[in-house]
Amino acid sequence: MPDALHIRQLPGLCPYTPVYDSMRAFTDVRGPGAPDEIWVLQHEPVYTLGMGGKPEHVLNAGAIPVVRADRGGQVTYHGPGQLVIYTLLDLKRRKLAVRALVSLLEQAVIDTVAELGIAAHRNGGAPGVYVAGRKLAALGLRVRKCCSYHGLAANVDGDLAPFAGINPCGHPGLPVTRLADLGVGMNCDEFAARLLPTLCRLLAAATVDTVPSLRRSRRAPAAQAGAMHG
């Protein structure tokens, strides 16, 4: 059975770039025995463009910064009221292919919202989780050294207006939704408490431990460390 998962809860609203840099640094320094980690957080408002993302999919950024990231895919939005789960996993050790991880992340959201009475589904050719054709959760991954980072973002109770400033995930006019509009009165912490056990079960984690958040410097916890998008 794969080894333990460490869960890091990052408090408050996190600027995107320091967390992004920490994910990359964590992956760079981790060794074959380093535990896998899941980072749980919300970001300050930001648009992120994948490696092959086309700037023309940013229609009107306004005051929201646009950051280029090394995941696959096009453009998406992160902000308050959106639950972000970053999956820093040794895929070789877990015997997971990238497509299998994408499917697993989608299934974790589908199973969790099913417990809340919501019928969610995949959309072939456009990774993510949808409800009646509206996108509820987006996925973005990068794999380096057989290890993944980035992850998923689920709209819980945040303002969806910034999605009008982009073609979400490169699809003009793609409608988005949030749990609040689907009759679920939860905040991000409450939804995370439902989603994380499902995700850990699907990952077949032997044990799950909560570990301290990142240091205030937002650098990767090196002492403990040994592409698809939709």
CATH of the domain at 21: 3.30.930.10
Measure the CA–CA gap between 223 and 111, rounded to whole angstroms.
35
169 is catalytic: yes
Tell me the pLDDT of the chain (230 aa) as tens digits. Answer: 457 899 999 999 999 999 999 999 999 999 988 999 999 999 999 999 988 888 999 999 999 999 999 998 889 999 999 999 999 999 999 999 999 999 999 999 999 999 999 999 999 878 899 999 999 999 999 999 999 999 999 999 999 999 999 988 888 889 999 999 999 999 999 999 999 999 999 998 766 788 887 764 444 344 333 344 45
Query: Residue 229 domain-assigned?
Result: no
pTM of the model: 0.91
Residue 176 tokens read as 């988005």
pLDDT for residue 225: 37
Ramachandran sector of residue 151 (left: φ over 0; alpha: ψ -120 to 50; beta: rest): left
Q: Which residues contact 220 (CB under 8 A, 6 or more apart)?
A: 21, 22, 23, 24, 25, 26, 28, 29, 214
75-78 sheet: strands from edge to edge: 66-68, 46-49, 75-78
Q: How many domains does the chain have?
A: 1
Query: Residue 54 domain-assigned?
Result: yes
Contact 66, 49 (CB under 8 A): yes
Catalytic residue among 14, 147, 169, 200: 169
Query: Residue 90 domain-assigned?
Result: yes
Q: 197: part of which helix (H) or strand (E)?
A: helix 188-202
Measure the CA–CA gap between 40 and 199, rounded to whole angstroms.
12
Measure the CA–CA gap between 200 and 38, rounded to whole angstroms.
9
Query: Residue 65 domain-assigned?
Result: yes
Measure the CA–CA gap between 169 and 179, rounded to whole angstroms.
19
Contact 191, 106 (CB under 8 A): no
Instruction: Read off φ and ψ for residue 103, nearest 5 degrees.
Output: -60, -40
pLDDT for residue 214: 73
Query: Residue 78 domain-assigned?
Result: yes
Query: Residue 170 domain-assigned?
Result: yes
pLDDT for residue 222: 40
- In angstroms, the Cα distances linking 115 to 110, 120, 174, 186, 227 are 9, 11, 26, 13, 29
Query: Residue 230 domain-assigned?
Result: no
pLDDT for residue 219: 44
Query: Residue 15 domain-assigned?
Result: yes
pLDDT for residue 158: 98
Measure the CA–CA gap between 208 and 1, rounded to whole angstroms.
13
Number of Cβ atoms within 10 Å of the Cβ of 146? 14
The parent domain of residue 79 ranges over: 5-224
pLDDT for residue 210: 83
Measure the CA–CA gap between 109 and 114, rounded to whole angstroms.
8
Inter-axis angle of helices 188-202 and 98-115, nearest 10? 130
